[in-house]
Amino acid sequence: MLVIGEKLSIIAKRVREAMMKRDKSPIQDIAISQWKAGAGMIDANIGPAEDGGEALMQWMITTIQEAVPLPVCLDTTNYRAIDAGLTVHNNQWGRPLINSTSNDPERFPMLELAAKYHSQIIGLTVGKGGLPADAEERAAIAAEIMARAAESGVPLEDLYLDPLVLQIATSQDHALKVVKAVRMFQELNDPPMKTVVGLSNISNGCPKHVRPIMNNYLLSLLIYEGLTAAIADPHEVSQTVKTIDVILGNTLYAHSYLEM
C-alpha cells in the first residue's frame, strides 16, 4: 500500500514558517524523514494559497524533489498553483497526484490539468451540497466523477477515489460507511478503482494519545478492504502497513520484518 506522507502541510507551524521564508532545510528534513519511514509519495499541502500560490507550489515541489526521489501529491484548491506546480514536477521519480477534484463544479477543471500533464488525480466523493450521507451516496458521486474523468481524457487507472474520512468524535457512524465505500468503489470498474483516504482526519479532535491508535486501527480495516493509498504519517503507520502485508500474505514473514 502506498503511504503519501502528510507532514508537509501548511497547518503545521514549522512548515508554514519555512514556506513563508522559503527556508528549504526544514521542508527537506521532513521530506527525507518521511521517505525513510516508508512514504512512497510526499503530500505538499499549501492551503488555498490565494496569493503567490503558483510560485509557492513550484518551490515546494522543487525543494522536496531535490531531497527525495519521490513524486509529489499537489494539495491545494488553487487551480493555478497546481498548473504551475505540474510544470516543474520531476516525473523521473513517479507521476504526480493532484489533490483533488470532486463533484463540486469548482473542482471540475482539475481533471483538465490531470489530462494535460498526464498526472494522477484524487476524486473526493463530495458535492457542493454537503457531505455524503452513506456509502451508497459516496459510490454514486464516485460514478459521476469517473464519467467526468473519462470525458476529460483521464484514464480511470489514474483516478484515486477518496470516500472522505470524517471525525470519529463528531461523526461516528461515518467510519464504517467509509470502510464500506472503499469496498464499493473498487466494484465500480474492472480492474478495480484505486482508492485513497486522508487517514488522520478520523482522529481529528481526539485526545493526542488516542490519535495514532485510532488512525492505525482504521487503516488496518481499510487495507483489508483493498485500500490503495493513504495520506498519513509514515512514522505512525509503517508498522501497521508492514504487519497487514504479512497477514495478507503480500510479504514473506521473517522475525525482523518490521525492520525491512
Partner 1 sequence: MPFTPTKETYSGKIYTVAVGKDSGMITLGGENVLPFHTFDGLLPNRPVVAYEIQDSPPDDWPDEVLSPYADVVNSPVLWAKYCQDTLMAQAIALRLAGTHPDRANRSPEDAAQTVKDVLSSVDIPVIILGSNHAEKDASVLVAAAEAAKDRNCIIGKAQEANYKTIAAAAMANNHKLIAMSELDINLSKQLNILISQMGFEKERIIIDPMCSALGYGLEYTYSVMERIRLAALAQNDLTMQQPILGDVGIYVWKVKETQASETDVPQWGNLKERSVAWEAVTAVSLLLAGAELLIMRHPKSSDAVRKVIEELT
Stretch that binds partner 1, among 58-66, 108-116, 143-151, 244-252 (CB under 8 A): 244-252
Report the alpha-carbon distance of residue 25 to residue 37 in Å, rounded: 18
Dihedral sign for Cα 241, 140, 115, 154, please. Answer: positive
User: Position of cell 488522520?
Assistant: 200
CA 94 → CA 41, 42, 55, 90, distances in Å?
9, 11, 22, 8
Q: How far is CA 159 from the centre of its chain?
A: 12
Considering the complex, state which of residue 25 and residue 239 has its C-beta at the smaller distance from partner 1.
239
User: Least Å distance between CB 94 and partner 1?
Assistant: 15
| By CB under 8 A, residue 256 contacts partner 1 | yes
Least CB distance from residue 23 to partner 1, whole Å? 35
Residues 23, 225: Cα–Cα separation, whole Å: 40
Q: Per CB under 8 A, which region of 56-64, 76-84, 212-220, 252-260 contacts partner 1?
A: 252-260
**Of the residues 131, 133, 213, 254, which one makes contact with partner 1 according to CB under 8 A:** 254
Amino acid at the residue 84 = A
The nearer residue to partner 1, 70 or 122, going by C-beta atoms, is 70
191 near partner 1 (CB under 8 A): no
Cell digits of residue 219: 487503516
Pair 41, 71: CB distance under 8 Å: yes
Between 171 and 251, CB nearer to partner 1: 251
Choices 36-44, 86-94, 209-217, 246-254 (CB under 8 A): range interacting with partner 1: 246-254
Provide the minimum distance between the beta carbon of 254 and partner 1 in the complex, in angstroms, as a whole number.
4
User: CA angle, 219 as apex, 217 and 224 as ends, to 5°?
Assistant: 105
d(CA 67, CA 199): 25
Q: How far is the CB of 255 from partner 1 (least distance, A)?
A: 5
C-alpha cell at 208: 493526542
Amino acid occupying residue 222: L
Residue 260 in contact with partner 1, rule: CB under 8 A? yes
Q: Is 259 in the site for partner 1 (CB under 8 A)?
A: yes
* Total count of residues recorded for the chain: 260
Applying CB under 8 A, does 48 fall inside the site for partner 1? Answer: no
Q: Report if residue 250 touches partner 1, rule: CB under 8 A.
A: yes
Is 238 among the residues that bind partner 1 (CB under 8 A)? no
Rule CB under 8 A: which residues touch partner 1? 250-256, 259-260
